[in-house]
């Protein structure tokens, strides 16, 4: 059973919002599209009968969580997930840091899992406080000269102790083809730096400390074979990069961090079951899509703001930005996604959002229960700040007041809102959240008449960049 809850009431208004009848009018269409996604797409997948409008059909992400768990249950260590666990549970004794090299969907999901589920200062904790799990850094997502150089230097300095493991690091390089220039160039640099750091042991150790996640063929696959990597994990066929977070692309980094990957996948399975069986009125995915789609089509809300009310979900918001923009931003259609982190961004963006161009809907992402004990404001003999009157209130109390106050202010100026509530921020909830947003993106794409798979505009920039390099 899913634990997420969706409340669209802040978008129901006769002037600036929609109404229940509007939402209900989409029931038949969305039910038909649900059947198409769950039944027709799966029957067409991998066949020679895919109609042109559905090509490419990278729909395997939908049943991948069940497929992965079933394979693990059947074959354990021989399965992809079992091999991931074997590497993750053994390599932490040999290293103290991991650099994850990838761009777009090849790193954004993994980074968002880390930020959502790990201590915010994980990389600054001692090795003991991390349970010997590695520090984790992300590169290969840009061609920033100084950032690349700084991380190479940081990895060379090792950890905070003097053991051999704390002087070593590993590389996880993620690219389906190996042909994306940002990641390929980074891998060349970081591979050379890793070999330098290992000295005379490089030949024997590098094949274990370089862990590729790639396709079954291509430049990175060939390079990994040339290096003699002990393990090569897969970006599954039929799963596009931005839909790959619940494959080894996201699960390998999560497992290296010691996170509960089984629960992550079980959360996705729970969302699949909910989407498949829940009625339109109770279906979280369909209600989310219906409300947001109607606001964009009927009320001109062309900017979709994901307001996350915890810093831990900022990278999730950026992952979603890529997912929605790259999937449905085609043929002159699709909304513009935007992530804000509150209350931080209330002091930078909110004035324009509340009283600027009225083209936005605000989807609040709210964590209900915190992992740490609530911190009270506290009483002080230095009351120049005038806070003693709320000394017994806690930071969660202040956050709740800010959420309600912001929603009320937005409504007063004719801005619609919705609330997506996460009871507890853990891997089970994150599995639900990833799968919900991926299904919602596909469902809305089909509602718009767009193929949500493929990214022709991205391929054009790559071709232009290579041409400008004289290639």
Task: Provide the 3-class DSSP secondary structure of residue 16.
Answer: coil
Whether residue 189 lies in the annotated active site: no
- Inter-residue contact 286 to 30 (CB < 8 Å): yes
Tokens linked to 398: 């202040």
**R_g (Cα) of the chain, nearest Å:** 23
* Spatial CA neighbour of 287 closest among 12, 27, 13: 27
Distance CA(354)–CA(349), nearest Å, equals: 9
C-alpha distances in Å from residue 82, one per residue of 64, 65, 228, 447: 15, 14, 20, 38
Q: Where are the alpha helices (DSSP H) in 158-313?
A: 181-198, 202-209, 219-227, 248-256, 261-277, 284-298
Whether residue 462 lies in the annotated active site: yes
In sequence order, the β-bridge partners of residue 360 are 303
* Candidate list 15, 49, 162, 347, residue with the active-site label: 347
Buried b (16+ CB within 10 A) or exposed e, 153-192: eebeebbeeeeebbbbbbbbbbbbebebebbbebbebbbe
Task: Provide the 3-class DSSP secondary structure of residue 3.
Answer: coil
* Spatial CA neighbour of 306 closest among 406, 447, 420: 420
Handedness of CA 96, 101, 103, 106 (dihedral sign): negative
- Inter-residue contact 235 to 244 (CB < 8 Å): yes
* Candidate list 13, 122, 411, 462, residue with the active-site label: 462
* Candidate list 231, 314, 326, 444, residue with the active-site label: 326
Whether residue 124 lies in the annotated active site: no
Task: For residue 318, report the phi and psi dihedrals to the nearest 5 degrees.
Answer: -70, -35
DSSP code, position 243? G
Task: Provide the 3-class DSSP secondary structure of residue 5.
Answer: strand
Active site residues: 326, 347, 462
């Amino acid at each position: 059973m899913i634990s997420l809850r969706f409340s669209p009431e802040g978008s129901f208004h006769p002037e600036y919002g929609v109404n229940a009848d509007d939402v209900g009018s989409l029931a038949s269409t969305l039910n038909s599209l649900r059947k198409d996604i769950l039944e027709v797409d799966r029957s067409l997948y991998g066949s020679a009968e895919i109609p042109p409008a559905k090509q490419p059909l990278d729909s395997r992400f939908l049943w991948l969580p069940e497929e992965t768990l079933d394979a693990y249950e059947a074959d354990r260590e021989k399965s992809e997930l079992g091999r991931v666990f074997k590497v993750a549970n053994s390599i932490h004794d040999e290293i103290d840091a991991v650099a994850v090299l990838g761009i777009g969907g090849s790193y954004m999901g993994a980074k968002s899992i880390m930020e959502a589920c790990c201590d915010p200062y994980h990389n600054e904790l001692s090795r003991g406080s991390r349970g010997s799990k590695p520090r984790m850094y992300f590169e290969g997502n840009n061609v920033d000269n100084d950032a690349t150089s700084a991380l190479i230097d940081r990895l060379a300095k090792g950890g905070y102790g003097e053991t051999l493991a704390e002087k070593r690091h590993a590389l996880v390089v993620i690219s389906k083809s190996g042909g994306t220039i940002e990641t390929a160039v980074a891998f060349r640099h970081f591979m050379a730096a890793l070999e330098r750091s290992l000295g005379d042991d490089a030949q024997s150790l590098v094949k274990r400390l370089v862990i590729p996640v790639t396709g079954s063929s291509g430049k990175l696959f060939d390079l990994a074979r040339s290096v003699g990597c002990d393990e090569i994990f897969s970006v599954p066929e039929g799963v596009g990069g931005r839909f790959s977070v619940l494959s080894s692309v996201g699960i390998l980094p999560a497992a290296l961090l010691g996170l509960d990957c089984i629960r992550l996948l079980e959360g996705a399975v729970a969302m699949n079951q909910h989407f498949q069986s829940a009625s339109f009125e109770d279906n979280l995915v369909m209600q989310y899509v219906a409300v947001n789609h109607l606001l964009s089509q009927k009320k001109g809300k062309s900017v979709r703001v994901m307001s996350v009310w915890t810093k831990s979900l900022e990278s999730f918001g950026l992952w979603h930005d890529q997912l929605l923009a790259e999937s449905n931003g085609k043929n002159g259609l699709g909304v513009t996604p935007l992530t804000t982190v509150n209350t931080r961004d209330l002091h930078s963006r909110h004035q324009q959002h509340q009283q600027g161009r009225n083209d936005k809907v605000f989807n609040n992402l709210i964590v209900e229960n915190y992992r740490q004990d609530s911190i009270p404001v506290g009483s002080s003999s230095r009351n120049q700040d005038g806070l003693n009157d709320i000394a017994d209130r806690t930071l969660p109390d202040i956050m709740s007041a800010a959420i309600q106050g912001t929603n009320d202010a937005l409504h007063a100026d004719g801005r619609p809102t919705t609330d997506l509530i996460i009871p507890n921020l853990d891997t089970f909830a994150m599995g639900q959240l990833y799968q919900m947003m991926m299904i919602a993106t596909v469902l809305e794409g089909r509602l718009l008449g767009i193929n949500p798979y493929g990214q022709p505009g991205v391929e054009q920039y790559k071709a232009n960049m290579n041409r400008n390099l004289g290639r």
